[in-house]
Amino acid sequence: MTDLRLIAVPALTDNTIWLLADAAGATVVVDPGEAAPVFAALARERVRLGAILITHHHDDHIGGAAELAASTGAIIHAPVDARIGVTAVRVGDGDHVVLDAPKLRFEVIAIPGHTLSHIAYYGHGVLFCGDTLFSVGCGRLFEGSPAQMLASLDRLAALPADTLVCCGHEYTVANCAFARTLDPDNTALAARSAQANALRAQGASTLPTTLGNERACNPFLRIDSAELIAALDTTRHTDRVERFAQLRRRKDSFRMPAQ
């Protein structure tokens, strides 16, 4: 992604809105849950908004889209889902979003699980994956089955190791605390945890992460590792979907230990 600029904009409680700007100063925005911090970022970074990309229908990912589109003329791209009630170019698995300003091109990848119509955008070595893959974690299964979510994560995990993973939330510190309960001897995870704690202590973002690092640290991508099998397998031999489902259930009930 030479001469492109990737900008993380914190929003709401723990969302991250992403901008990817080309060399000419035109940009996309991904999952604008609110408009105000995006307007501020456009001014601060001196970039013009040309397109809006939406990964899924949840309010914290679309709340600012209509206002941004109305005031900038940016074209919204969104999955086919009536719950996204804005005028948009509807895109689905295998489609390509080809833009002139900014001069960017993305492949659309269907990744059901967190929601059924959830999609990712992949291009220029950057992956915008919403609430499906987080750093050292994954999204909750609100609509899809464990098998669907695992297949979605498998597709994302097959992308190149240097892919920049731009997810929708800053959950890394809590995700590391949970992961370490299951994968305590993982040195890559220990290093990511220390790095995330240090970044958050300074008020800095832990994102983006790389797919290579996620394959090394993220328990939801390590479901077939000896360590996770040992941590999750119970008396009977569970298959990988059952292991994944069990891991997701454990995460749902995990609470951060008191400091």
Select the span of 114-122, 127-135, 206-214, 242-250 touching Fe ion (CB under 5 A).
Answer: 127-135
Say how far apart CA 148 and CA 97 lie, in whole Å: 24
Select the span of 18-26, 28-36, 127-135, 217-225 touching Zn ion (CB under 5 A).
Answer: 127-135
192 binds, among Zn ion, Fe ion, none (CB under 5 to 8 A by kind): none
Say how far apart CA 190 and CA 197 lie, in whole Å: 11
The single residue among 22, 31, 131, 170 that binds Zn ion, judged by CB under 5 A, is 131
Q: Are 206 and 169 in contact (CB under 8 A)?
A: no
Burial of 63 (0-12, 13-18, 19+ CB in 10 A): middle
The verdict on 131 binding Fe ion (CB under 5 A) reads yes
Say how far apart CA 101 and CA 165 lie, in whole Å: 23
Select the span of 126-134, 175-183, 209-217, 230-238 touching Fe ion (CB under 5 A).
Answer: 126-134
Minimum CB–partner distance for residue 65 and Zn ion (Å): 14
The tokens describing 167, both together, are 């997810």
**Binding to Fe ion in span 221-250, by CB under 5 A:** none
Beta strands in the chain, from DSSP E residues, in sequence order: 5-11, 15-21, 26-30, 48-53, 75-79, 89-91, 96-98, 105-110, 119-123, 126-130, 133-134, 137-138, 164-167, 209-210
170 binds, among Fe ion, Zn ion, none (CB under 5 to 8 A by kind): none
Please identify, using beta-carbon distances, which residue of 35 and 54 lies nearer to Zn ion.
Answer: 54
What angle do the packed helices 240-253 and 172-182 form, to 10 degrees? Answer: 120
Minimum CB–partner distance for residue 194 and Zn ion (Å): 28
**Binding to Zn ion in span 45-64, by CB under 5 A:** 58
Say how far apart CA 21 and CA 27 lie, in whole Å: 4
Q: Which helix (H) or strand (E) holds 156?
A: helix 146-157
Active site residues: 56, 58, 60-61, 114, 131, 169
Minimum CB–partner distance for residue 114 and Zn ion (Å): 6
The single residue among 60, 170, 183, 214 that binds Fe ion, judged by CB under 5 A, is 60
What angle do the packed helices 172-182 and 187-201 form, to 10 degrees? Answer: 150
Half-sphere exposure of 227 (CA within 13 A, CB side): 17
The verdict on 31 binding Zn ion (CB under 5 A) reads no
Minimum CB–partner distance for residue 142 and Zn ion (Å): 7
Say how far apart CA 139 and CA 141 lie, in whole Å: 6
Residues that contact Zn ion, how many (by CB under 5 A): 2
50 binds, among Zn ion, Fe ion, none (CB under 5 to 8 A by kind): none
Select the span of 9-17, 68-76, 105-113, 126-134 touching Zn ion (CB under 5 A).
Answer: 126-134
Minimum CB–partner distance for residue 134 and Fe ion (Å): 10
Residues that bind Zn ion (CB under 5 A): 58, 131
Residues that bind Fe ion (CB under 5 A): 60, 131, 168
